[in-house]
């Protein structure tokens, strides 16, 4: 069977077979003139292009369009852009896991012969990746107490350093990084300052506002919030010459699956509500201890609640300027500090954080 030729005299074309028609019919996207209120899941590996030139253009630069979902996908692009907006960044990308985000951030700036200063108290997988992966390729790693700014300054001055890495609140020890001071030290010594903000999330802290050059988060944790996805996000500022948010697509780490990116985008709708509830619940546990000076020292982040009620669920308490980043972080000294049990701990590997007591009301 053939189809009629056109009016210009072209020969008739063979009719399409059942298999071809079925494939084309099943792959035809509907025309949608109205914008959906939720980001669609583009569950596809490849995208069509009108011609070879257009395909080559988008394959060479994923920012120009879409060709292959390992390079870029509209659903994951939307998640990266959303995170960049929340983090106050120039651009962002969504990756397959938090460790993929760590790898993408480090691989974007490190090369053989470079040096990294990183925290002693840090996520174990991050420390392992720095030492066992980047270390094998000639990158020097020095671990320091990130809460001791003098020790950090000494480490940075010891040799040319490419990168200072820190965590807003260390996983799992919760030691808090003074982003403003660390960023200033890193930049003074010609190094980048990258921050892992997983344990704080952008709802409580935005490291880029305190001088960090790049921020990563494991979206598996508070960003996702429902134990149903594995993902990571990276956002950077123009100060990073070749961030993972730009550059050759082949150099990027594993991208997030569209389904995971969609779930994370959905979680963003409730992020503020969930964070406020987390904060209020944590404060309700802390409050009874706060009334006893002998129990005031605990290895938890010092949260400078300044409202009369000490309620962390107020906008003033949960803004970045009132929470993690802007508050001066207590620094380690040689003077021992009391522990909850009455024992005294000198400046060693254990860090005890003091929670500020709230003034009692007149009533």
Residue in 68, 70, 127, 295 annotated catalytic: 70
* 49 contact partners, CB below 8 Å, separation of at least 6: 55, 58, 65, 67
Q: How far apart are CA 245 and CA 91, in angstroms?
A: 6
Residue in 127, 221, 295, 332 annotated catalytic: 221
Residue in 42, 66, 123, 222 annotated catalytic: 123
Residue in 114, 145, 196, 213 annotated catalytic: 196
Q: How far apart are CA 109 and CA 102, in angstroms?
A: 12
Q: How far apart are CA 201 and CA 17, in angstroms?
A: 54
Answer yes or no: 28 catalytic. no
- Percent of the chain that is helix, strand, coil (3-state, to 5): 35, 15, 50
Q: Find residue 353's DSSP bridge partners.
A: 298
* 318 contact partners, CB below 8 Å, separation of at least 6: 203, 204, 275, 276, 279, 312
Q: What is the DSSP letter of 269?
A: T
Residues designated as active site? 70, 123, 196, 221
């Amino acid at each position: 069977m053939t189809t009629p030729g056109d009016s210009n005299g072209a020969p008739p074309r063979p009719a399409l077979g059942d298999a071809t028609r079925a494939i084309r019919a099943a792959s035809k996207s509907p025309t949608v003139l109205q914008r959906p209120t939720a980001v669609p899941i583009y569950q596809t590996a490849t995208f069509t292009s009108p011609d070879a030139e257009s395909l080559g253009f988008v394959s060479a630069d994923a920012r120009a369009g879409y060709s292959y979902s390992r390079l870029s996908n509209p659903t994951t692009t939307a998640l990266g852009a959303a995170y960049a907006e929340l983090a106050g960044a120039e651009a962002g990308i969504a990756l397959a896991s938090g460790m993929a985000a760590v790898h993408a951030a480090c691989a974007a700036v490190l090369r053989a012969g470079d040096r990294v200063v990183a925290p002693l108290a840090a996520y174990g997988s991050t420390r392992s990746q720095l030492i066992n992966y980047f270390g094998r390729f000639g990158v020097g790693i020095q671990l320091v107490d990130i809460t001791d700014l003098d020790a950090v300054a000494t480490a940075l001055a010891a040799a040319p350093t490419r990168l200072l890495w820190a965590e807003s609140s260390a996983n799992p020890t919760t030691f808090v990084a003074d982003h403003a001071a660390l960023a200033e030290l890193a930049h003074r010594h010609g190094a980048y300052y990258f921050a892992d903000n997983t344990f704080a999330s952008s709802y409580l802290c935005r490291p880029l506002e305190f001088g960090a050059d790049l921020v990563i988060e494991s979206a598996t944790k508070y960003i996702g919030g429902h134990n149903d996805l594995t993902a990571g996000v990276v956002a950077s500022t123009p100060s990073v010459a070749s961030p993972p948010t730009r550059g050759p697509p082949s150099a990027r780490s594993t991208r997030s699956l569209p389904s995971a990116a969609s779930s994370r985008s959905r979680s963003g709708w409730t992020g503020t509500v969930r964070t406020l509830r987390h904060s209020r619940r944590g404060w309700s546990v802390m409050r009874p201890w706060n009334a006893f000076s002998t129990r005031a020292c605990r290895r938890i982040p010092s949260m400078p609640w300044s409202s009369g009620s000490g309620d962390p669920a107020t906008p003033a308490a949960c803004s970045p300027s009132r929470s993690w980043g802007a508050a001066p972080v207590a620094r380690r000294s040689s003077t021992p500090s009391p522990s909850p049990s009455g024992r005294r701990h000198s400046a060693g590997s254990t860090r005890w954080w003091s929670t500020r007591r709230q003034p009692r009301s007149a009533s």
